[in-house]
Structure 1
């Protein structure tokens, strides 16, 4: 029994193609061959049925019920089902003792503790209303390097703003 089990798992074992009796295929390539050969022989494929326990078993439709009752792979699946039902009854759910750590963050408090300076694009400094420097008039300072200027218009006309006069 054990020798036949090991023999059936041998990837180099030659198996006969159910679609073309003249073909012998290695066991490791057999599933791929079945797909290809099923497409090449649709007339034979209509007469064969696939075993529900092993897709490699292609049996004539008239013999499928006998094959299902005597399929070797059926016992493996039945044993798995029995083992799963036994384990299901023995398993007890263990409640987790993990607790979420306390949160030390207080975003509202952090917001009030921040300095009153805010980032504003293209200005050197900005002072809020409550800042002691709020009465000082701030001069607008460009962040561009000296000798550079901001373009007054775009070089290209954007497609959605095209009204016939490109620059």
Structure 2
């Protein structure tokens, strides 16, 4: 039963006067079971939160909503192993033994229109560096045109 501003409320199977939040039912059932040791109530084999009178247990086990979860484990479909994948390409290739030279960033920057920055240099060294860069860029632009 849904109570506004409170949540879902469930009636205790041991005492109908007890109305408990559904989230706290497990804890309450443990306490009530101690208070009513002579009650002929048993727990459902599919869900321990279902406490049912012993006379209704057979009917409940046939209609329990949690039975499907247990049945899916009981009658599980056998899993088959996946076939081993076949290698479509040759694995003899080794990229470490290439004939091509390694990438040299300094050589690339010197031969392309890359703007470089002078760092860790004095003011005079920076002036000279930027002048050399200007000349280098002009020569590269003439070579590309």
Q: If the length of structure 1 is used for normalisation, what is the TM-score?
A: 0.42
Which structure has more relative contact order (CA 8 Å, sep 6+)? It is: 2
